[in-house]
Amino acid sequence: MAFLRFSLLLLVFSFLSFSFSPAIYAGEIKVYTFDEFEYRLYQEDDNIYVVNFWATWCAPCVKEIPDFEKLNATYKDRGLKVLFVSLDFPGQLESRVVPFVERMNMQAEVVLLNDPRANRWIPRVSEKWTGSIPATLIYAKGFREFYEREFTFEELEEIIKPLL
């Protein structure tokens, strides 16, 4: 009986926590649907936001991660925030993404976008995006540009310097 009561409590609790928190946590990595995520593409403050869409299986993405990390480390004290948005399969969050983030020692924030209906949300990131990754959105007050390409640290720096 006590066991049953406990199980019931657990069930109710897990139901409550599920229904009240839109994002699920795995370590530090939040999982979003696009509707939950979208506001992070439109933050109206004095920061510079560099939003990079990537995946552990995407070789050119993996190659440029240290450059984005360096950008974040160099300019975070001056109001620049790098946000890595993983498009890995959600079932591989624990097995692939978390170990990858630890191995690469990624310091900037990492989230996972779990929204398979990409035709609905890709144009809401940018009308210019055909859907290939890596892709990067950079925005700040009075500036918004989308890039479906790879970057080096120097190329990123050239874009963000006038915005500092």
Q: How far is the CB of 129 from another protein (least distance, A)?
A: 7
Give 21: exposed, middle or buried? Use CB within 10 Å, 0-12, 13-18, 19+: exposed
Rounded (10°) CA dihedral 110, 153, 137, 72: 40
Question: Looking only at residues 108 through 147 of this chain, which bind another protein when binding is defined by CB under 8 A?
Answer: 116-120, 122-123, 129-134
Phi, psi of 32 (to 5 degrees): -120, 150
43 binds another protein (CB under 8 A): no
Q: Which stretch binds another protein (CB under 8 A): 15-23, 25-33, 36-44, 50-58?
A: 50-58
* Spatial distance between the Cα atoms of 15 and 150, rounded to a whole number of angstroms: 42
Q: Is 75 in the site for another protein (CB under 8 A)?
A: no
Of 75 and 84, the one with the shorter C-beta distance to another protein is: 84
Q: Under the criterion CB under 8 A, does residue 59 sit at the interface with another protein?
A: yes
| Smallest separation (angstroms) from another protein to the CB of 8 | 30
Helix axes 153-160, 59-75, angle to 10 degrees: 50
89 part of the interface to another protein, by CB under 8 A: yes
Non-local (6+) Cβ contacts of 143 within 8 A are: 163
Residues within the interface to another protein (CB under 8 A): 55, 57-60, 87, 89-90, 116-120, 122-123, 129-134, 148
